[in-house]
Amino acid sequence: MTDLSIRVEGRAGRVTFTRPQALNALSYAMCKALDSALRAWADDPAVELVVIDAEGDRAFCAGGDIAELYAEGTRGNVAYGQQFWRDEYRMNARIGGYAKPIVTLIQGFCMGGGVGVACHASHRIVGESAQVAMPECAIGLVPDVGGSALLAAAPGRMGAYLAMTGTRMGPGDAIFAGFADSFVPMAAWPDLIATLCATGDVGAVAQAARPAPAARLPGLQPQVDRHFCQATLPLIRASLSAADSDFARDTLAALDRGAPLAVATALAMQQALGPDPALKSALELEYRVTHRAQTDTDFLEGIRAMIIDKDRKPRWRHARAEDVTDAELAALLAPLGPETLTFEE
């Protein structure tokens, strides 16, 4: 397919996103093609590892192709989005549990669906331009594609902070927060990929790795932990409001960019998952929300405001954090019964 190049080079299964004009946004067809390749290579003795990269300077993958979901959802076809998420999450789980090494090379934007492909791999490389984030709350959704598991495992309360604000992480921060493993200068990527394909030896990644650029998040950790240890979104906002600091002011502004329902749900999910959740458990919890997202959240309105009409004036269901009720959160996170996400083939 034109948006994704799938082939075998030497001893490596190779996947390249070839949609740079759309920031390599992950469509449903791309998702299914990638998953099909992973299933085929799992039992292929000629393929010793998998290497996933992307064309273009601006993005590894800036997220899922949510314009597709909007078009179908506004026509009342919510089943399309539900099936897309179901299949995408199964692909995310496959990457996370793959028996062979998967090497991903992240440049530019890696957000949402891009995180689901790149950041569950066994060997996650970031370059100088990497900007990793889970900004779903700004479109009325929650961090998904297994991102909630990565966030929950981040140091202290950093996961809640990143989930609720959508803060972007450069290469050093992505490594600090657990979204990446190694920094390799992008100029060295062609030689590294050639070595991986020629040898099938993932040890080449460690040999190519260099010290990561300075990270910003470690210096913010004390403030993050102090404010985001609060139990609810209103209490976090009150804690920030009482602090006279640039961090507090910037963080309040970031929280205000998200839909109150989504921000509160993201916090509740982090609390429910605990500090070291299994990827499949996180995906199942995420699917409870996304299965209901088109009818019971601000998701479609968020896409309209930010992506379709681009007026950046979303009409959220709630004007204030205090308006979100415990009952709403419980309903979004309630088990789905027969619709529960499972991972059987």
Q: Which of 210, 327, 209, 309 is nearest to 268 (CA)?
A: 327
- Among 29-33, 61-65, 215-219, name the one with the lowest average pLDDT: 61-65
* CATH code of residue 116: 3.90.226.10
What is the side-by-side order of every strand in the sheet holding 59-61?
59-61, 109-111, 131-133
Going by C-beta distance under 8 Å and a sequence separation of 6 or more, which residues neighbour residue 21? 56
pLDDT, tens digit (0-9, with 9 covering 90-100), for 209-225:
999 999 999 999 999 99
Q: pLDDT at position 67, please?
A: 85
User: How much is the average pLDDT of 276-289?
Assistant: 97
Calpha distance 343→341 (Å, rounded): 7
Q: pLDDT at position 64, please?
A: 87
Q: For residue 222, give its domain range.
A: 1-345
User: How much is the average pLDDT of 77-98?
Assistant: 97
Mean confidence (pLDDT) of the chain: 97
Position 2 confidence tier, pLDDT thresholds 50, 70, 90 = confident
3-state secondary structure of 254: helix
User: How much is the average pLDDT of 287-316?
Assistant: 96
Q: pLDDT at position 66, please?
A: 86
CA dihedral 312, 318, 322, 323 (to 10 degrees): 180
User: How much is the average pLDDT of 62-87?
Assistant: 93
Position 28 confidence tier, pLDDT thresholds 50, 70, 90 = very high
User: How much is the average pLDDT of 69-97?
Assistant: 96
pTM for this model (two decimals):
0.97
Model confidence at 264: pLDDT above 90? yes
Report the half-sphere exposure of 329 (CA within 13 A, side-chain side). 21
Model confidence at 1: pLDDT above 80? no
Q: Which amino acid is located at 167 in the chain?
A: T
Position 68 confidence tier, pLDDT thresholds 50, 70, 90 = confident
Position 78 confidence tier, pLDDT thresholds 50, 70, 90 = very high
Q: Please give the tally of structural domains in the chain.
A: 1
Q: pLDDT at position 214, please?
A: 96
